[in-house]
């Protein structure tokens, strides 16, 4: 059985050492600096997105918000030929479908590995864990070839979400959580009541594993939303398939180019980052504790 | 089948589905892996020994033996250089990540526990953000004539630095972005490792008169070993595949002199720009071997002097 660190860290009373306030000043200074460095690029992208393009680079640099949000959005619509909302939707579609399918298939498999005894279970689970050792990079070329030469999915969004629907990390995370959080008696009781096996999963298990579904859901959403290389390789570059990261690359690639509409680019940067911030901030504690619990094995 | 002594009920639908449900539940992974994992891997291994472009059509591959591998390791190609770049950027970003994350986690855990949740969230933010978007922000900061970094440097009398233009600076500039993205993730990992260490050990040490430094050195570090191993492994595997940051900051060529061309970028260019799939496959297997070797080295270093656990 596995315990999550959160469970292990019994919040017992800690011995309070009397500390002089000034001794804590360096600690606070250090923490504020670390937080500042973490946050400042986010802050700057919002500041830049609110100034006219010509003023993104000015001396001294702008450190406070301007009033060009709207005109930068119009600029963005111009440089993307009105496609920015469509690109947002394409990214959202891929991220949502990835998330839903991943949650379904991984929780189903994780439940099976946690709550059933079946022949070959150990070997099958070991195999799944073993596939985690394959570096994703090694899969780039062969998966392109499968999509290109066998399935003809290149240029289609499903090339991005289908292969990862049931992935080793998700199954592992689900199994760890389900085997430590759900008692087997519960499953037995439902079985006695005449529930079907899938019915038990749907009506008993799913509602009880919401916390870990939230964790895996956020991680999957963020991963799919940010998937740049996959979209690049699978050529989601037509107007009706282009995702936000590809659009960003097209507009903002070539770092040294100053003669582009920087206000519009920063607006696109902000649009790309806002959903991530929202999704993460809504569930950050849950995500962090869920993610790190997967790291501690017994 | 007929020797079964169990009543006919054992053949009921209920029993049947109980028995086969788990296989059905785990089958999606294996079906997907067969189609999108195993078959592609074998295909790429096959291609590594052939000369082939997707334009040639299926079946028109030319067997070249180990030629792809020898070419990659030979002096004429960029692969060696890209591997050196990758390692160098990996060291420049990876070592500071852990040197900063570990003390940071230690301080948060011992002195700022009440703010642990908030601090974790803030430090974790860079990890979840979009690499392409953030690379654009950093590219702006790095801008030679107009960027904030050179502006700030100018205030204290420093000459402008060509952050993305000077081949000697490029690895540092790229590594700084990677460091920024992952230092918080490592801090959070170490924090959760610290939470798993029993308070009793520290209390005993306090009673014995150990100071903060001694506690860190003699208690925290040894007990944090498994988490350090895990975090190091992730850093190694991740930095060996570095792609998006240099690709965005420097374009696909890796900037002037190719100082920021990582192996992942070189493989990408060979496969998807030059359409030399056999050669690119061979290089991706070589990179896989390099990642494997470094993971083994990490494993060895961690098990050697900590063997007794």
The pLDDT tens digits for B173-232 are 999 999 999 999 999 999 999 888 888 888 888 888 888 788 888 888 888 998 999 999
For the stretch A144-189, pLDDT in tens is 999 988 898 998 999 999 999 999 999 999 999 999 889 988 888 8
Question: What is the distance in angstroms between the Cα of B66 and the nearest Cα belonging to chain A?
Answer: 18
Q: Residue B104: closest CA among chain A residues belongs to which residue?
A: A31
Interior CA angle at B235 toward B230 and B237, to 5°?
A: 95
**Residues lower than pLDDT 70 in chain A:** 1-21, 59, 253-259, 294-298
Using a CB–CB cutoff of 8 Å, tell me whether A158 touches chain B.
no
For the stretch A82-91, pLDDT in tens is 889 999 999 9
Using 50, 70 and 90 to split pLDDT, how confident is the model at B286? very high
Q: What is the pLDDT of residue B47?
A: 92
Among left, alpha and beta (phi > 0; psi -120 to 50; other), residue B251 is left
Is B4 a residue whose pLDDT tops 50?
no
Question: What is the distance in angstroms between the Cα of A241 and the nearest Cα belonging to chain B?
Answer: 18
Q: Report the C-alpha gap between A256 and B162 in whole angstroms.
A: 11
Mean pLDDT (chain B, rounded): 88
Query: Which residues from chain B sit within 8 angstroms of residue A272, using beta carbons?
Result: 130, 132-133
Average pLDDT over every residue of B16-31 = 90
Q: Report the C-alpha gap between A66 and A183 in whole angstroms.
A: 56
Using a CB–CB cutoff of 8 Å, tell me whether B149 touches chain A.
no
DSSP alpha helix (H) spans, chain B:
13-33, 39-47, 67-73, 79-111, 116-128, 131-142, 148-155, 170-195, 199-207, 212-215, 221-223, 225-240, 244-250, 263-268, 277-304
Phi and psi at residue A243, to the nearest 5°: -100, 170
Using 50, 70 and 90 to split pLDDT, how confident is the model at B6? very low
Q: Residue B20: closest CA among chain A residues belongs to which residue?
A: A118
Question: What is the distance in angstroms between the Cα of B76 and the nearest Cα belonging to chain A?
Answer: 23
Query: Which residues from chain B sit within 8 angstroms of residue A269, using beta carbons?
Result: 133, 136-137
Task: Give the ipTM.
Answer: 0.87
Residue A111 corresponds to which tokens in the numbers above? 């439940």
Question: What is the distance in angstroms between the Cα of A155 and the nearest Cα belonging to chain B?
Answer: 14
Distance between the two ends of chain B, CA-based, in angstroms?
A: 51
Q: Report the C-alpha gap between A95 and A99 in whole angstroms.
A: 6
Which class for A92: exposed (0-12), middle (13-18), buried (19 or more C-beta within 10 A)? middle
Please tell me the pTM assigned to this model. Answer: 0.88
Q: How many residue contacts between A and B have a Cβ separation below 8 Å?
A: 276
Segment holding B62, helix H or strand E: strand B62-63
């Amino acid at each position: 059985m596995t315990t999550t660190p959160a469970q292990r860290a019994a919040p017992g009373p800690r011995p309070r050492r009397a500390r002089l306030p000034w001794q804590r000043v360096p600690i606070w200074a250090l923490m504020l600096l670390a937080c500042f460095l973490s946050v400042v690029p986010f802050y700057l992208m919002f500041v830049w997105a609110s100034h006219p393009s010509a003023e993104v680079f000015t001396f001294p640099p702008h450190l406070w918000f301007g009033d060009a949000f709207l005109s930068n959005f119009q600029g963005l619509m111009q440089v993307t030929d009105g496609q920015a909302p469509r690109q947002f939707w394409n990214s959202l579609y891929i991220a949502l479908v990835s998330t839903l399918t991943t949650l379904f298939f991984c929780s189903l498999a994780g439940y099976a590995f946690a709550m059933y005894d079946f022949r070959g279970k150990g070997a099958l689970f070991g195999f799944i864990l073993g596939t985690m050792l394959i570096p994703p990079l090694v899969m780039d070329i062969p998966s392109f070839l499968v999509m290109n030469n066998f399935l003809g999915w290149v240029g289609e969004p499903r090339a991005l979400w289908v292969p990862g629907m049931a992935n080793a990390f998700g199954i592992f995370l689900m199994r760890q959580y389900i085997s430590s959080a759900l008692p087997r008696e519960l499953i037995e009781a439902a079985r006695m009541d005449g529930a079907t096996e899938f019915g038990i999963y749907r009506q008993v298990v799913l509602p009880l594993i919401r916390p870990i579904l939230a964790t895996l859901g956020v991680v999957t959403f963020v991963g799919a939303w940010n998937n740049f290389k996959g979209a690049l390789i699978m050529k989601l570059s037509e107007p009706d398939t282009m995702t936000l990261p590809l659009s960003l690359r097209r507009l903002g690639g070539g770092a040294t180019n100053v003669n582009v509409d920087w206000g519009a680019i920063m607006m696109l940067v902000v649009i790309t980052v806002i959903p991530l911030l929202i999704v993460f901030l809504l569930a950050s504690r849950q995500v962090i504790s869920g993610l790190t619990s997967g790291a501690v094995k017994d | 089948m007929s020797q079964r002594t169990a009543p006919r009920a054992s053949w009921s639908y209920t029993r049947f589905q109980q028995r086969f449900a788990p296989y059905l539940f785990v089958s999606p992974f294996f079906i997907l892996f067969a189609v999108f994992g195993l078959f592609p891997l074998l295909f790429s291994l096959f291609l590594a020994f052939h000369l082939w472009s997707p334009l040639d059509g299926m079946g028109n591959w030319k067997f070249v033996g180990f030629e792809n591998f020898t070419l990659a390791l030979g002096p004429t190609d960029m692969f060696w250089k890209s591997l050196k770049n990758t390692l160098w950027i990996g060291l420049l970003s990876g070592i500071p990540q852990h040197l900063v994350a570990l003390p940071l986690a230690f301080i948060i855990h011992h002195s700022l526990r009440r703010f642990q949740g908030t601090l974790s969230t803030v430090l974790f933010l860079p990890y979840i953000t979009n690499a392409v978007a953030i690379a654009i922000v950093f590219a702006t900061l790095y801008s030679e004539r107009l960027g904030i970094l050179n502006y700030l440097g100018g205030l204290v009398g420093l000459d402008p630095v060509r952050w993305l233009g000077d081949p000697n600076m490029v690895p540092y500039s790229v590594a700084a972005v990677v460091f920024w993205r992952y230092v918080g993730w490592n801090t959070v990992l170490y924090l959760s490792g610290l939470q798993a260490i029993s308070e009793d050990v520290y209390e005993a040490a306090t009673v014995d008169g150990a100071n903060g430094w001694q506690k860190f050195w003699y208690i925290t570090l040894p007990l944090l070993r498994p988490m350090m191993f895990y975090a190091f492994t992730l850093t190694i595997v991740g930095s060996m595949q570095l792609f998006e940051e240099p690709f965005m900051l420097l374009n696909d060529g890796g900037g002037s002199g190719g100082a920021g061309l990582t192996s992942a970028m070189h493989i990408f260019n060979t496969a998807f720009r030059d359409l030399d799939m056999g050669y690119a496959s061979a290089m991706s297997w070589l990179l896989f071997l390099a990642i494997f070797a470094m993971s083994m080295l990490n494993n060895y270093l961690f098990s050697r002097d900590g063997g007794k656990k």
